[in-house]
Amino acid sequence: MSDFIDSNDSNAGEHGSGSRRRRVELSDLPHEIKGLIARHCRGVDDCFDSVIRSLEGRGGLPADSDCSLDDLRKAYRRTVAVLYEVSKEWRELCAPYRFEPLSTSKVGDDFFHLVIAPKYGHYFVSVTFDITMSPRIIEFIKALPLLPNLDTLSLTNDLFDGIHDLDATLQRAIEEKLTQVIERGVRQLSLRSLSPINVFRLTARARHLTKLSFKTSDSLVLDELWNIVSPMTQLADLHIVFIDISPAEPLRFATLLDNQPETIPELKSLALAGYVTTDDASEFIAIFASSLRRLVVGTQEKALALGKTQSLVPACSFPKLLMLFLRVPNTLLQKTLDDLPGPSQLPNLRYLSTMREAIPLPATSMVRIKKVAAEHTGIKQVACIPYFERVSLVEALGPADPSRLGVRYFEYWYPILAMTNTDALAELLQHDTAREQRQNTLDVIDELLEYATERRKRIATTGDWVDATRFVKDLRRLDLQRRIHLL
């Protein structure tokens, strides 16, 4: 990134004029643009972290490499950290990204208490629990008032294991402080392996929660779900993963159906995954069908053996559903696709994902996927392996990487332009679906040409030669192709 752009004054060409417009520095950019730069730098850092995690998952670097992953981490200077040091204004813009993510082990550190938190505590919005020693837990609790804008909190049962040897009074004080923090403003709460009683304690006054995530092996958590979410009037996202559920104590969705309250949260996103039996699960999902925008359903092979093999997607209307994720074994996938509600019941479905593992689906499943896509003409993207005709570059599971949002948007609407595999492109062009994509491609060219013309007019009218310089840089690749064409 250049620190400045030199630009001649409009009178620079006149006789006797030695004046020049001062150089335009990074600090002269509008505040909104600076904010976008800070976000982009954070995305670059996240991308680097994703690459490192991917390499770790594959066993690290090749054996003949002259460095290690630790060497790469140490050598990489985070772009947000560099930008943070430029000036006071940039420090303010980068601070929310500079100090995240925050672990509880850092929160309990003396340096954090004395130096970081008093000055920058209001920038921290997310904390992940990762300590088990009771003294550090106490320090963590003491530091929470220094984080007034805490928005996201992830807790595990290690918290309660860690305070087990403390006296009862101190235990209650810690639980009360956590409850107060959650009540005060936490909007996203993640709880892993907590007992039902501890879940109750932490969510009793969680009125501001918009997202609640569970990972539990206790079926009683499901039995008490209505009581847990009752105070959460703003809840929009519920994510539950069941792990190692005992066959002797299976999930009882029927209990929830029999005791459904008059008022339930209007969920926009619902995820049920892990050790989920299909019995009555679809009826539970149907409770939220009228408001859902995103639905994730998943289960395991061993869970299917305990129940009937029936679709997890209920045969009802989902008027607002945009995205459907099916994380189920192939036998259940085929059944679910066969029984999927029709276009009139899924009028706004735009995205379908059947990616559960990085292995190709059998031909029988692909036939069903193509049939669903043919019926639901509103679907713009199907994520599966092998790639379906409408799919360009299928992303990995999980939330989108901020640095690739623009690329994903481009690939989503214009997959022909994004595809690099010539064989896949040739196959795509043989299908009728390519006609729509070809027209979309021509439309985006027209839109870009119109934008370029309007931008030129604006530059000529305002005399903004700094913007003209940027515009010329943006057009260099196209200009190079033009020059080559003239040869």
Place 303 in a pLDDT band, splitting at 50, 70 and 90. Answer: low
**pLDDT of residue 40 exceeding 60:** yes
pLDDT of residue 449: 82
Which residue would you say has higher pLDDT here, 487 or 463?
A: 463
Place 438 in a pLDDT band, splitting at 50, 70 and 90. Answer: low
pLDDT of residue 285: 92
Which residue would you say has higher pLDDT here, 116 or 212?
A: 212
pLDDT of residue 437: 59
pLDDT of residue 101: 65
- At 343-379, the pLDDT tens digits run 999 999 988 988 766 567 788 888 888 888 888 888 8
- At 453-476, the pLDDT tens digits run 777 877 776 677 877 888 888 787
Lowest mean pLDDT, pick from 17-21, 29-33, 347-351, 480-484: 17-21
pLDDT of residue 424: 55
Lowest mean pLDDT, pick from 71-75, 161-165, 296-300, 436-440: 436-440
Which residue would you say has higher pLDDT here, 452 or 289?
A: 289
Q: Which of 6-15, 140-149, 312-321, 347-356 has the highest mean pLDDT?
A: 312-321
| pLDDT above 70 as % of the chain | 74
Q: Which of 2-11, 283-292, 359-368, 436-445 has the highest mean pLDDT?
A: 283-292
Place 267 in a pLDDT band, splitting at 50, 70 and 90. Answer: very high
Place 321 in a pLDDT band, splitting at 50, 70 and 90. Answer: very high
pTM of the full structure: 0.66
**pLDDT of residue 2 exceeding 90:** no
Which residue would you say has higher pLDDT here, 451 or 389?
A: 451
pLDDT of residue 478: 79
Average of per-residue pLDDT across 190-201: 86
pLDDT of residue 429: 52
pLDDT of residue 48: 81
Average of per-residue pLDDT across 427-452: 66
Averaged pLDDT of the chain: 76
Average of per-residue pLDDT across 36-45: 82
pLDDT of residue 239: 94
**pLDDT of residue 391 exceeding 50:** no
pLDDT of residue 21: 61
Length of the chain: 487
What is the spatial distance between Cα 270 and Cα 239, in angstroms, rounded to a whole number?
6
- At 331-343, the pLDDT tens digits run 888 888 999 999 9
Average of per-residue pLDDT across 378-406: 51
